[in-house]
Amino acid sequence: MQGFRTELENPLVQKDIIDLEKKIRLFRDGQLDGEKFRSLRLARGVYGQRQPGVQMIRIKLPYGKLSIQQLYRISDVSDEYATGNLHITTRQDIQLHYVSLERTPELWAELEKDSVTLREACGNTVRNVTASPEAGVDPDEAFDVTPYAQATFEYFLRNPICQDMGRKFKMSFSSSESDTAYAYMHDIGFIPKVKIENGVEVRGFKVYLGGGLGSQPHISEFVTDFMHEDLIIPFAESVIRVFDRHGERAKRNKARLKYLIQEMGKKAFLELAEKERLALKNKTFKISRDFDFTLPASVIQPAIELLNPVKYEQWRKTNIFPQKQEGYVSVGIRVQNGDIKTPIARKLAEIVRDTAADDIRLTNTQGILLRYVKEENLPYLFQKLDELYLAEPGFGSVLDITSCPGTDTCNLGISNSTGITRELEKVMTAEYPELIYNKDITIKISGCINACGQHALAAIGFHGSSMKIGKLVAPALQVLLGGGSTGDGAGVASEKIIKIPSKRGPQVLRAILDDYFDNSQEGELYNDYYIRQGKIYFYDLLNPLAKPEDITPDDFIDWEHTEPYVTAIGVGECASVMIDLVATLLYEAEERIQWADEALEAGEYADSIYHSYTGFVNSAKALLVSEGVKTNTQAGIIRDFDTTFVDTSKITLPSSFNELVYQMNQQEPGKDFATYYFQQSSLFNQQLKDYRTLQTA
């Protein structure tokens, strides 16, 4: 395992991987608290699976961009360390499963040889920055958002302000008003806009704030019609700093940004964000519009005899999209359940090399988009894809169902989402083949209420559940209807209708589709039909399928299982768990102060200041925990430390703790203040350790 110490060129990456290796040893030796270790490994993309003793590894691919060489590299890594399967997620990541914890540093080092990272793919961090897969080729886009998504990813990776927040934080960039990156369900969503000032085109973004899915979906709130391109990263940093300080930390189900904004109000929240501007590393941030991309050579592939011309014509009508670049098209590939085996992935890489740009985009619907394909090469490309079973028509149609892994691997999965997905696609292919042309209706399925399959933004959504029937428990599906984008940053969350046994999912789908085809008006879109009929209408329509009177033994067996259903939900790891050990908190504070010193030496003054700030907060939190005081938010910790320790003279400070800590927001981030603030944080930590020693002697 020593190889990565010398082979990796980036010292930050090398430090990360060596640190993970060291912490794994400490954890195995019983020298590192399990919950602290959980937080650390999650921030490095290492996530516990439903199956004991193995890990899921999440690979962070900003806006889903993947090069041919990276696809080869990830395939090799999956074969060596995992199961030879690549799972594409709804956040444009790739997940590998069944990985040994001890091998994760080596796996990471192998990926980094082609600039593929695990860093901050999980945990209480800024998650993968997503974007419309058609960004850069979209005929309707104001400009290409790719450089902006890339810059945002780079800016917040390893940024001190977002390493251990109360919960995860998600951002997206849509290419146009069609909002295919779902601005309305992100913590911050950006939609590109241009305006003319003094005869010059100026770029900016329409901005939305505080959206999210989960058990209580919340549509994001409008911020501005136009934010200058140089202000979007400072704005995001201000928002994250406020969220880090004021966001809930103890009650995990209330710890997302949407709840904080609902609690304090959008106006008050934005006022706090504006007050952060003085302390920002950059008041403006100029993003380079250049994107490292070489147009593929216009090689025309040899003529080929189509073995299935009917399927080819269907594929051309449903999977091919004109680009704004004349003579080129993009090609969508349906990937069932987002799973692609490594032998297929390698052959796909060869096909891309022959026919498309070295710019593969994974989609937020778990598909793949090939770009810059010459129209003359479409017959050749179709034939090659069809040989790999990757040329199924209906990309982005109702047949192209989005689903998370559910009970296959996830701790939180309640019922099987992958099996029901395959079954519903089979039903529609056999009974409703014309639906390959329908891109109005969307179907999305999650294994539980947490919405990794994005069921809350689907026209027809399902999430895993269970239901008691007599003395037994059956796997169930909660049915939701009416969700989706309405355009330009607006959207609607689907409504819960009824819960039904999972095995009746195909009957539910038939009932919904048949009702729509029989009763909708000419040209009426599905969600418009849903609104016209109303929630009660659909409850009455589906209620006969939910009644237990005609229950059968098969209803107690989940899809693609043979044994009766048993409810088994583990501990979720979408974010780190609260650490209540005083010694661990003091150690963590000391570690942050050490990072502050390192940043100070490197001249990274804003980073040093934020590390020192976190040192202050974690030190104070340790003593508050020892007194049984709630530590739900950082702002509450700062307030309550004064009340519990300073005002009672248990701890003597040169000022109130509030005044001492919040100097960070009253100073420009320069060398003198960073040095002073680091020294004060270090002294404070030592003072509290001395106090703790006396208390426990």
Q: Are residues 43 and 72 in the same domain?
A: yes
pTM of the model: 0.92
The residues that bridge with 484 in the sheet, in sequence order, are 492
Note down the domain range covering 320: 309-387
CATH for 56: 3.90.480.20
What letter does residue 60 receive in the DSSP assignment? B
Decide if pLDDT at 474 tops 70: yes
Examine the domain organization and report whether 174 and 40 are in the same domain: no
Residues 365 and 422 in one domain: no
Show the tokens assigned to 598: 């390192």
How confident is the model over 364-382, as a mean pLDDT?
A: 96
Same domain? 196 vs 274:
yes
Residues 264, 188: one domain?
A: yes
pLDDT at 573: 53
Residue 481 has pLDDT above 70, yes or no: yes
For residues 16 and 207, the model is more confident at 207
Of 556, 571, 605, the one marking the end of a domain is: 556
Residue 95 placed within a domain = yes
99, two tokens:
């990985």
Q: Which of 260, 279, 298 is the last residue of a domain?
A: 279
In this predicted model, which residue has the larger pLDDT, 578 or 436? Answer: 436
Question: Where is pLDDT greater, at 392 or 14?
Answer: 392
Choose from 29-38, 243-252, 345-354, 399-408 the range with maximum mean pLDDT. Answer: 345-354
CATH number for the domain harbouring residue 464: 3.30.413.10
Distance CA 212, CA 256 (A): 8
Question: In this structure, is residue 31 part of a structural domain?
Answer: yes
pLDDT at 677 exceeding the cut of 90: yes
Supply the DSSP symbol for 184: G
- The closest of 205, 141, 140, 181 to 362, measured between CA atoms, is 181
pLDDT greater than 80 at residue 260: yes
| pLDDT (tens digit per residue) in 582-600 | 877 888 899 899 999 999 9
| Angle (deg, nearest 10), helices 505-519 and 418-431 | 40
If asked whether residues 351 and 422 sit together in one domain, one would say no
pLDDT band for position 23 (50/70/90)?
confident
Q: Does residue 214 belong to any structural domain of this protein?
A: yes
Secondary element (H or E) of residue 626: helix 605-626
pLDDT of residue 355: 94
Asked if residue 205 belongs to a domain, the reply is yes
Looking from the CA of 322 toward its CB, the CA atoms found within 13 Å total 5
- Supply the pLDDT for residue 450: 87
Asked if the model's pLDDT at residue 89 lies above 70, the reply is yes
Average pLDDT, the chain: 92
For residue range 409-428, list pLDDT tens digits in order.
887 788 889 999 999 999 99
pLDDT at 32: 78
The pairing of beta strand 320-322 with beta strand 328-333: antiparallel
- The reply to whether 93 and 137 lie within a common domain is no
* Among the ranges given (452-466, 542-556, 600-614), the one the predictor scored with the smallest mean pLDDT: 542-556
Residue 574 counted as domain residue:
no
Beta strands 171-173 and 188-197: pairing type? parallel
Mean of the pLDDT values across residues 255-260? 95
- DSSP, res 129: P
Q: State whether 497 and 351 are in the same domain.
A: no
What is the model's pLDDT at position 429? 96
509 & 377 share domain? no
Residues 228 and 162 in one domain: yes
Looking at residue 575, its pLDDT comes to 41
Domain end marker among 68, 86, 112: 112
Percent helix / strand / coil, the chain, rounded to 5:
45, 15, 35
User: In this structure, are 171 and 245 located in the same domain?
Assistant: yes
**pLDDT tens digits for 112-121?**
999 999 999 9
pLDDT for res 581: 59
Tokens of 386: 């069809």
Which CATH number covers residue 379? 3.90.480.10
Select from 166, 208, 272, 300 the least CA-distant residue to 490. 208
Average pLDDT over residues 254-282: 96
Structural domain includes residue 240: yes
Structurally, how many domains does the chain consist of?
5
> What band does 33 get if pLDDT is binned at 50, 70 and 90?
confident
User: Is the predicted pLDDT of residue 579 greater than 50, yes or no?
Assistant: no
Distance separating alpha carbons of residues 67 and 114, to the nearest angstrom: 9
pLDDT tens figures, 158-215 = 999 999 899 999 999 999 999 999 999 999 999 999 999 999 999 999 999 999 998 8
- State the DSSP string of 233-259: HHHHHHHHHHHHHHS--S-GGG-SHHH
CA angle 213, 215, 218 (to 5 degrees): 40
DSSP 162: G
Given a contact cutoff of 8 angstroms between Cβ atoms, the answer to whether 220 and 208 are in contact is yes
How many angstroms separate the CA atoms of 169 and 586, rounded?
Answer: 26
**pLDDT, tens digit, for every residue of 300-348?**
888 888 899 999 999 999 999 999 999 999 999 999 999 999 999 999 9
The verdict on residue 612 lying in a domain is yes
Mean pLDDT of 636-655: 96
How far is the C-alpha of 439 from the C-alpha of 393, rounded, in Å? 12
Residue 582: the pLDDT is: 81
Same domain, 165 and 267: yes
Mean pLDDT, residues 35-58? 87
| CATH code of residue 683 | 1.20.120.330
Lowest-pLDDT range of 66-70, 203-207, 444-448: 444-448
Largest interatomic CA distance in the chain = 87
In degrees, rounded to 5, the angle at the alpha carbon of residue 217 between the alpha carbons of residues 215 and 219 is 170
Long-range interactions of 530-537: CB distance < 8 A, separation 24+: 530/459, 530/481, 530/482, 531/482, 535/481, 535/495, 535/497
Give the mean model confidence (pLDDT) for residues 529-539: 97
Residue 565: the pLDDT is: 81
Question: Nearest CA to 319 among 262, 382, 376?
Answer: 382
Does residue 577 belong to any structural domain of this protein?
no
For residue 577, pLDDT over 50 is answered with: no
Q: In this structure, are residues 221 and 208 in contact, taking their beta carbons and an 8 Å threshold?
A: yes
Whole-number percent of the chain with pLDDT over 70: 96
